[in-house]
Amino acid sequence: MKIAVCIKQVPTREWQPRLNDDKTWIREQDVSYEMNEPDAYALEEALRLREKHGGEVVVCSAGPARVQQVIREALARGADRALHVEDDGLGAADAFAIADALAGAMAGEKFDLVLTGLQSDDQGHAATGVVLAERLGMPHSTIIMEVQVSDGGLRIKRELEGGWFQWITMPLPALLTIQSGINQLRYATLKGIMAAKKKEITKVPVAAGVERVQQIAALAFPTKSKQTQMIAGSASEAAKELVRRLRDEARAL
Amino acid sequence: MILVIAEQREGKLNRASLETIAAAQQLAGSMPIKVAVLGATTGSVPADLASASVAEVLVGEHPALQPYTPDGFVMAVQALIEQQKPQIVALPHTYQTRDFAPQLAARMRRALITDVTGIKGSGATASFSRPMFQGKLTADVKPRGDAPHIVTFQIGAFRADAMQKGSSAAPVTKVDVAIDASKIRQKPEAPFQEAKAAVDLSQAERIVAVGRGIKSQDNLAIAEKLAKALGAEVAASRPICDNGWLPMERQIGSSGQTVAPKLYVALGISGAIQHLVGMKGSRTIVAINKDADAPIFEVADYGIVGDLFEIAPALTTELEKS
């Protein structure tokens, strides 16, 4: 089975945002990056499916040169090769531009199965995978917690809201967006890191006609909807004061 | 015209649809609003929706819409849009919407803006606020390209009780939604729940919830001691349950339980929106986190910035004194 996994490079969880001068995007020079967490689960699922059914796992990523960091990491964890749609303009692109850029590079590969994370931890549109499926002419399903492959088709477990699930069957080729927690992640071994250095990363220019569907007019720190009372002091002082306020003000004890 | 696509399952309205109508009313300016509901049968949902102050309720019934599939819904909503020619299509940002709205927008080559929490201005020139970077920042975005623009509204961001009701019931009109059932590629089975939950967190008066900040399964004992001292249940954000440190039934958030206890204590939870939607209705929220900029402090009544491994035990000691 020929499996593609789309991964995105996003700021680390510990990153403290700063804005650029015109307050329409982040100051990128301050950012340290990592693999988008839901995409890491999609990669792990692809590796497990390859171990079970054979074939190859191709990592696909759209972004500036810096995204090679997460492409190398995916190769070190066990992916076979990579497609990198490289363009500086993709760093702040929305889901539609990313999906169109990926589709241009992926269409000729005739993948049997395409996996993505369910959303990215940066812009968080939760749309890239589904738009990509439409562009590749594949059926899709989202927020997937289990993948079974049988003759020419898939049986998948989709998460619904409030603890409900549903099994769905669909033909291959198909695209699935993977929910975090579907599996236990593996980490790169030293051997994997060494092997990754010899693996092929094919650079693909971004195709003509890739456009954003939305414009960020302004980016800001969120305004507080609630007056939060912050309690200072040492651990024991803060604990004492919190208990007093919970008892006397909030009447929550 | 703004076309709201309401969500229903087996004749029961998803209340997030009313929030989306409230958002559409704020957005409308001088534009009329129509609400559409789709399904094999829609029961009393159209009558429920007709109480809203809207121009018309549209009912599109077709056997191929039960069970829900993204392919079926995209065909139906596209047919509706082509009939009605709205400028804006508004939907609640549910799992179902997330499953089909991007496909609809991609197929029609129209802009999609998801997870909207606020509206600036009104009508065709409005901009939409939405969280980015896990809620660390808020972006004001404008759709580009031709109408209609498709906008999804975050659950809980607009209030259902702020929805204006009409002085009389809105007219209900049946509409044709052409669906070629042979083009539906997904074949769903009946929804099910995993093992019946042994604990009903929605009934708990107090909850102590842990997040990534707890660092290891062994450290859960700290939260359990605090919970015992408070008479609270222990719950968690998604990553903790993903790791198997607590069972899934103790997960709070969009993919887990929604709770509104008297007291909610968040230990080492940063407050991703998927978690906040499950707990922000709690009466009193306490957040303890080492990161002063964590989004959890935006919904907290009381906040302590510091090391939970010092503060939580101190809190337990203090509670045990009294």
Q: Which two tokens stand for residue B272?
A: 């991703």
Q: Which residues pair with B37 in a beta bridge?
A: B6, B59
Residue B142 has its nearest CB partner, among A160, A214, A247, at: A214
Beta carbons of A211 and B248 less than 8 Å apart: no
Question: Best interface-test mutation with B: which of A28, A160, A212 has the largest number of B CBs within 10 A?
Answer: A160
* From B254, B297, B307, residue closest to A228, measured CB to CB: B297
Convert the pLDDT of each residue in B109-152 to its tens digit.
Answer: 999 999 999 999 998 889 999 999 988 999 999 999 999 999 99
Contact of B229 with B320, CB cutoff 8 Å: yes
Computed on alpha carbons and rounded to an integer, the radius of gyration of chain A in Å comes to 21
CB A113 within 8 A of CB A1: yes
Question: Cβ contact (<8 Å) for B140 and A217?
Answer: yes
Assess contact for A71 and A19: CB atoms under 8 A: no
Binary contact (A162, B258; C-beta < 8 A): yes
**pLDDT of amino acid A10:** 98
Residue bearing the bigger pLDDT, B257 or B116:
B116
pLDDT at B277: 86
Higher model confidence: residue B29 or residue A52?
A52
A133 has a pLDDT exceeding 80: yes
**In chain A, where are the structural domains located?**
2-204, 223-253
- CB–CB of A235 and B299 under 8 A? no
Radius of gyration of chain B, Cα coordinates, nearest whole angstrom:
22
Determine the pLDDT at residue A147: 98
Look at residue A131 in the predicted model and tell me its pLDDT.
98
Cβ–Cβ contacts within 10 Å for residue A6, how many? 27
Test A213 with B145 for CB contact under 8 angstroms.
Answer: yes
DSSP letter at B306 equals: S
C-alpha dihedral, B24 to B29 to B32 to B36, nearest 10°: -10
What values do phi and psi take at A6, rounded to 5? -95, 125
Over residues B5-33, mean pLDDT: 95
Tokens in use for A152?
């020419």
pTM comes to 0.90
pLDDT of residue A13: 87
Closest CA of chain A from B158, distance in Å: 13
Mean pLDDT of all residues in chain A? 95
Angstroms from A67 CA to nearest CA on chain B: 17
Percent of residues, chain A, with pLDDT higher than 70:
100
A230: chain B residues, CB-CB within 8 Å: 297, 302-305
Q: Write the CB contacts of A110 (distance below 8 Å, at least 6 apart in sequence).
A: A2, A173
Best probe of the B interface among A213, A223, A249, by most B CBs < 10 A, is A213
State which residue of chain A sits closest to B295, comparing Cα positions: A222
* For residue B62, pLDDT beyond 80: yes
* Shortest alpha-carbon distance between residue A200 and chain B (Å): 31
Q: Is B321 exposed, middle or buried (0-12, 13-18, 19+ CB in 10 A)?
A: exposed
The amino acid at residue B191 is P
pLDDT of residue B196: 62
Instruction: Judge whether residue B197 has pLDDT over 70.
Output: no
pLDDT of residue A30: 87
Q: Which 34-93 residues of chain A touch chain B by CB within 8 A? A: none
Partner residue facing B144 (CB), from A213, A218, A223: A213
Chain B contacts of A171, Cβ < 8 Å?
185
Contact A144, A157 (CB under 8 A): yes
Q: Give the pLDDT band of residue B198 (cuts 50, 70, 90).
A: low
Question: If you average pLDDT over residues A147-153, what whole number do you get?
Answer: 91
What average pLDDT does the segment A157-172 reach?
A: 92
Would you state the pLDDT for residue A6? 98
Domain range A2-204, its CATH number among 3.60.150.10, 3.40.50.620, 1.50.10.10, 3.20.20.70: 3.40.50.620
- Chain A stretch 95-134, residues whose beta carbon is closer than 8 A to a beta carbon of chain B: 95-96, 99, 121-131, 133-134
Nearest to B28 by CA among B59, B53, B58: B53
Q: For the residues B78-86, what does the mean pLDDT come to?
A: 97
CA–CA gap between residue A175 and residue A143 (Å, rounded): 11
- Segment A143-157 shows an average pLDDT of 94
Mean pLDDT in residue range A212-226? 89
Cβ count within 10 A of residue A232:
11
Residue A163 has pLDDT above 80, yes or no: no
* C-alpha to C-alpha distances, B54 to B28, B86, B170, B171, B268, nearest whole angstrom: 11, 14, 6, 9, 44
Instruction: Give B135's contacts in chain A (Cβ within 8 Å).
Output: 222
Containing A39, the helix (H) or strand (E) segment is helix A37-53
Summarised one tens digit per residue, pLDDT across range B267-304 is 999 998 889 989 988 999 999 999 998 999 999 999 99
- How many Cβ atoms from other residues are within 10 Å of residue B125's Cβ? 9
Q: Does B311 sit within 8 Å of A131, measured CB to CB?
A: no
Q: How far is Cα A81 from Cα A55, in angstroms, rounded to an integer? A: 12
Angle among Cα B106, B109, B115 to the nearest 5 degrees reads 60
| DSSP letter for each residue of A182-221 | SSPPP---HHHHHHHTTS-EEEEPPPTT---SEEEEEEEP
Burial A26-61 (b: 16+ CB within 10 A, else e): beeeebebbbbbbbbbbbbbbbbbbeeeebebbbbb
Instruction: Please tell me the distance from the alpha carbon of residue B74 to that of residue A131, in angstroms, as a whole number.
Output: 12
Distance CA B217, CA B234 (A): 13
By the 8 A CB rule, do B99 and B70 touch?
yes
**How high is the pLDDT of residue A14?**
86
pLDDT at position A125: 96
Least confident of A42-51, B18-27, B254-263: B254-263
Q: Is the pLDDT of residue B16 over 80?
A: yes
Look at residue B195 in the predicted model and tell me its pLDDT.
66
Taken in order B11, B12, B15, B18, the sign of the CA dihedral is positive
pLDDT tens digit sequence for A77-100: 999 999 999 999 999 999 999 999
